[in-house]
């Protein structure tokens, strides 16, 4: 079957690279590169690989992944960098067919730390479903997160918290959430429908070493609000303290 694809009216020749653009069929990782690869770079690669396997995208090797990142960061003079790696899919423009190949897109720019010492969160105006497989991978199908983030910004907040179909806390549009009450550290269970963040894993392990009782479970908004401290985590900004949820 003959297929013609144009961009602004002109023939678009490399149509095989369109799958990620058309369907969000890609996976990504975002982290800070402060003069060297982050400590957990292999975990980032493993999560990228897992997401690619879920979406049936061919996976590049760890060696190539690291090489493409290192080759890219050399092109900026700055040493403290924001890095996003995106494994894009390549193949047929028909949505149900599997990708034939993949490419690694690397986006780098100077890292800008957050100016806020504490942030405010709000609740997203729509819910997620705990059975959604995309919640457990970092997919480029990101419209849900974009809408939630924009909603939060319009309300004067940093981010929005997602509730699932049972009104259980899950995560924010860009981070995992934790709260402390006494010597107990609480965070939603993965079964609620959320990403197992790299920093999330580190915080859980570190908290146990520091003597905290870590509880991963099913919680509601009031459980979070009735706490001594709330914070969110991601690989770019680390730990960010939350002043309130409005």
In angstroms, what CA-CA distances link 208 with 8, 186, 189, 213?
56, 12, 16, 6
Which token pair is 9? 């009216």
pTM here is 0.93
Residue 1 has a pLDDT of 56
Distance CA 72, CA 146 (A): 26
Q: What secondary structure does DSSP assign to 146-168, as a single string? A: HHHHHHHHHTT-SEEEEEBTTS-
Evaluate if residue 5 carries a pLDDT over 90: no
pLDDT digits (tens, 9 = 90+) for 146-164: 999 999 999 999 999 999 9
Residue 201 has a pLDDT of 97
pLDDT digits (tens, 9 = 90+) for 82-133: 999 999 999 999 999 999 999 999 999 999 998 878 999 999 999 999 999 9
**Domains of the chain from N-terminus onward:** 9-110 (3.30.470.10), 118-245 (3.20.10.10)
Distance CA 237, CA 31 (A): 8
Query: What average pLDDT does the segment 216-224 reach?
Result: 97
Residue 30 has a pLDDT of 97
């Amino acid at each position: 079957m003959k297929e013609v694809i144009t961009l602004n009216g002109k023939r678009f020749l490399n149509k095989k690279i369109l799958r990620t653009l058309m369907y969000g069929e890609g996976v990504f990782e975002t982290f800070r590169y402060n003069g060297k690869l982050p400590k957990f770079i292999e975990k980032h690669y493993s999560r990228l690989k897992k997401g690619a396997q879920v979406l049936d995208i061919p996976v590049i090797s760890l060696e190539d992944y690291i090489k493409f990142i290192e080759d890219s960061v050399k092109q900026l003079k700055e040493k403290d960098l924001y890095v996003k790696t995106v494994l894009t899919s390549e193949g047929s423009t028909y949505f149900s067919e599997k990708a034939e190949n993949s490419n690694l897109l690397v986006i780098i720019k100077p890292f800008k730390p957050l100016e806020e010492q504490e942030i405010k969160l709000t609740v997203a105006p729509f819910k997620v479903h705990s059975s959604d497989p995309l919640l457990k991978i970092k997919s480029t199908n990101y419209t849900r997160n974009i809408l939630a983030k924009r909603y939060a910004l319009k309300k004067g907040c940093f981010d929005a918290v997602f509730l699932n179909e049972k009104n259980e806390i899950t995560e924010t549009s860009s981070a995992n959430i934790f709260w402390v009450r006494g010597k107990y550290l609480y965070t939603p269970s993965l079964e609620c429908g959320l990403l197992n963040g790299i920093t999330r894993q580190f915080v859980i392990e570190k908290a146990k070493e520091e003597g905290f009782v870590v509880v991963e479970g099913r919680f509601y908004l009031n459980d979070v609000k009735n706490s001594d401290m709330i914070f969110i985590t991601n690989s770019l900004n680390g730990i960010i303290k939350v002043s309130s949820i409005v």
